[in-house]
Chain A
Amino acid sequence: MLTISNLHISVDGAEIVKGLSLDVPAGEVHAIMGPNGSGKSTLSYAIAGRSGYDVTKGDIQLEKKNLLQMEPEERSASGLFLSFQQPMEIPGVGTMSFIRTSLNAQRKARGEEGVSAADFLRLVRAKAKIVGLTDEQLKRPFNVGFSGGEKKRMEMLQMAIFEPRFAIMDETDSGLDIDALKMVGAVVNALRTPDRGFLIITHYQRLLDHINPDRIHVLADGKIVKSGGAELATELESDGYDKFAGEAA
C-alpha cells in the first residue's frame, strides 16, 4: 500500500532522512518509534508533500501512485491523512465550515458529490461524540484556544470523518490521558479494514497497547535500524533507544 524506497530527505540543505525503506501493506498498522530528532516528523511531512522537505533521492508510492509528483491536496484526495504533531489554529474560520470545506474538496477532487450541510451535521455530531468534542467546541474558530489534547481530538475527528485510505499519526498520543488514548485506539480500530493502512509515530508503548500494531520499526538518525513485531515496543520501553545510537552511525 505505502511503499517507501531508499528515501533521502533534506531540510535546509541538511540531510535528515538518510536512505529509509518501508512497506506498509494494505490492512496493516505499522508503528515507527525513535528518539527525538530522529526524523519521524520529517518523514511524515515529506510523505504529505510539505515544501522545504526536499526528497533528494528515493521514491514514495501510495497504492502504486507516485506521491512525489503530487501536490499536497492531491495526496489528500488520494486518501492520505496526516494527523499533525502540532495542529494549527485558524482564527476566523469556523470548525464546521473548515472540516466540511476539506471533506468536500477531497470528494470533489475524486469526482464525488459534495456532502450536504444536513448530512454533514449528522456525521460530525456522531463522530464528535466518539472523539469527545462538544457542540460548543465545534462552534468555535478552528482549534483556537484549544489545549494540546483537544487539538489531538480534533485531528481524530477529521480522521474519523474523512475515512482516509492511509493515515499517518504523528505523536497523536502525546499530551493525552488514558481515556483519550483509548479513544484514539477506538478511532483507529474502527477504520482498520483490509483496504486501509496506518503509520503510527510514537515514543511510547501505551498507545500501541490499544492498537496492537502489525509491525514496529525503530528510526534512528534518519534510518530504520530495526523492525519487529509488537513485542519490540515492550523491549524499547524497558531498554530505551540508546543501543540504536551506535547502529545508526
Chain B
Amino acid sequence: MGAVLKLTTAEQTLLQQLPKGDVAARLREHGLPGRRKEGWRWSDLRSVLKEPIALSDPYAGTISPTALILENAGELIFANGRLVGHPSYLPPQIRISRQSAHLGTPGAPLAAIASELSDGAHIVEIVGKLPSPVLIRYLSDGSGMHQTRVQVRLAPDTEATIIEHHESTEGAWLSNNLCEFSLNSKSHLTRIVVQEGAPGAIGAITGLVMLGDRATYTQIGLGFGGKMVRDETQIVHVQRGAKAKLSGAYLLDDKNHLDNTTRVEHRAIEGLTEELYKGVLRGQSRGVFQGKFFVARDAQKTDARMSHHALLLSENAEVNAKPELEIYADDVQCAHGNTVGSLDENVLFYMRQRGMSENEARAILVDAFVGEVLEGIKHEQLREQLVTKVRDFMGGGA
C-alpha cells in the first residue's frame, strides 16, 4: 500500500464535478473501475475513458417518435439525462414525482456516481394493475457525461411492465443510468431492457431490485453493446418466497463490447431465481458475463439456477464468462452452467442440403438460439419488434 493512485485526466475532471463526500473520496482513492478492480476485470473502463469528463449539454437532436411501437404505452423520455416534455398516456395507477432528498448511495461505483450527480431521483409510484406498459426512453447525443436516477416503487399486489429503451444515437457520450425497483409484497414487475448498439458510446445501466414477500420479478434484456457498455443487475430477495427470472440476449458485432454483470442475493427463505443469458458474437466483439448467486445462511430452501451460453460466429470475437456461487445456507438447490461454442457445422450442412443458403441457415439458428430468451416476452407487439432486431443483426451476413 502507500502509493497514492495517480488519477487519469478523466478521473480528475470527474472529481471536480462531484460534491465532496464518500463518493468523491472513493473516486480519489480507487479511481474509476478498471481491470484491477474486482468485477471489472474484463471491462476496463478506466483505460477506455481517456478524455476529460464534462457534463453533457442538453440534448441537441430532435426527439424522434418512439422507435418501439407500443400501443397505449405510457412514455417517459430522458434525453441527455433530463426528463423532457410531459410524461404521456400515463394511466391513473402511476404517480411521478421528483425527490431531491438524498436517497442513499448504492455500492456499485457507477451507480454511486449517478446518484451523486443526478441530484435526487424521479420517483415512479405504481399502485394497482397497470393496463399497459410504461416505456422509458433514454436518448443521448453529443459528448460528455449525463446520468439519471429513476426509482420505481410497486405497492403491494401491483402488476406492471416497464420497458427501458436505451436508444442508439450519435456521439461519444457517457451515459450512466441508475434504475431502482422496489417490489412490495405480492407485486409483479416485468422489466424489459433494450439497449441498442452505439459504437462510439460508453454506457452503464445499473438495475437495483429489492424483492418483497412473494413478489415476482421478470427481467428480459436485449443488448447490442457499444464502445463499452455495462448492464449490471443486482437483485436482493429481501423477504420470503420471491421469484426472480433474470434473462438477457446479447448480439455483438464489430468492436462492440457489452458486459452483463448480475448479482442475486438470497437473504430470505424460499426464494427462487432462474437466470439465463445468451450471446451471439461476430466481428471483433467482446462479451462479458459475470453472474453471482449469494445465498445467506438464513436463506434456506433457495432454488437458484443460472446459465449462460454464447455462440461465437467469428474467430476474433471473444467471450469472458464467470458464473459464481457463494452459498452459506445448507438446504438449497443451486446450479450453474456455461457454454461457449459455435454453430454446429453438421446442422448447417443439413439445412443447406434442404435448400437454405448458408446465411439463411445461420440466421435461423441464431433466431432459435436467442428465441429462448425473447419468447419470455408476453407483449406480442414488442416481442415481434425485438425478433426483427435479431433478424436485422443477422441480415448483415454472418
Quick one: closest A residue to B366, CB to CB? A92
Tell me if A50 is interfacial: C-beta within 8 Å of chain B: yes
Report which of A48, A82, A105, A158 forms a contact with B356, defined as CB distance below 8 A: A105
Let me know if B372 and A92 touch, CB within 8 A: yes
Let me know if A73 and B358 touch, CB within 8 A: yes
Closest chain A CB from B350 CB (angstroms): 4
Kindly list chain B residues whose C-beta atoms are within 8 Å of the C-beta of A5. Answer: none
The interface size bin for chain A is 20 to 34
Complex CA–CA separation, A92 to B369 (angstroms): 7
Closest chain B CB from A131 CB (angstroms): 16
Let me know if B368 and A88 touch, CB within 8 A: no
Let me know if A76 and B353 touch, CB within 8 A: yes
Which residues between 336 and 373 of chain B lie within 8 Å of chain A, taking CB atoms?
344-347, 349-358, 360, 364-365, 367-369, 371-372
Closest chain A CB from B365 CB (angstroms): 8
Let me know if B368 and A48 touch, CB within 8 A: no
| Interface size counted on chain B using CB atoms at 8 A | 22
Kindly list chain B residues whose C-beta atoms are within 8 Å of the C-beta of A71. Answer: 352, 357-358
Quick one: closest A residue to B354, CB to CB? A102
**Given A90-B368, A92-B369, A92-B371, A84-B355 contact (CB < 8 Å):** no
Report which of A73, A82, A90, A105 forms a contact with B347, defined as CB distance below 8 A: A90
Let me know if B355 and A109 touch, CB within 8 A: yes
Kindly list chain A residues whose C-beta atoms are within 8 Å of the C-beta of B365. Answer: 90, 93
**Given A73-B355, A76-B355, A105-B360 contact (CB < 8 Å):** yes
Report which of B346, B357, B368, B372 forms a contact with A105, defined as CB distance below 8 A: B357
Tell me if A103 is interfacial: C-beta within 8 Å of chain B: yes
Kindly list chain A residues whose C-beta atoms are within 8 Å of the C-beta of B345. Answer: 51
Closest chain B CB from A161 CB (angstroms): 10
Kindly list chain B residues whose C-beta atoms are within 8 Å of the C-beta of A103. Answer: 355
Report which of A88, A90, A93, A102 forms a contact with B355, defined as CB distance below 8 A: A102
Which residues between 37 and 87 of chain A lie within 8 Å of chain B, taking CB atoms?
48-51, 71-73, 75-77, 81-82, 84, 87
Report which of B347, B356, B367, B371 forms a contact with A88, defined as CB distance below 8 A: B347
Kindly list chain A residues whose C-beta atoms are within 8 Å of the C-beta of B358. Answer: 71, 73
Let me know if B350 and A73 touch, CB within 8 A: no
Closest chain B CB from A167 CB (angstroms): 11
Chain A residues with CB under 8 Å of chain B are 48-51, 71-73, 75-77, 81-82, 84, 87-88, 90-93, 98-99, 101-103, 105-106, 109, 141, 158, 162
Other A-B pairs beyond A92-B369, A103-B355, A141-B368, 17, CB < 8 Å: A48-B349, A49-B353, A51-B349, A71-B357, A73-B353, A76-B353, A81-B353, A88-B344, A88-B347, A88-B350, A90-B365, A90-B368, A92-B372, A98-B364, A101-B364, A105-B360, A158-B354
Show 15 A/B contacts (Cβ-Cβ < 8 Å), sorted by A: A48-B353, A49-B352, A51-B345, A51-B349, A72-B349, A73-B355, A73-B358, A76-B353, A76-B354, A76-B355, A84-B350, A88-B346, A90-B350, A105-B355, A109-B355
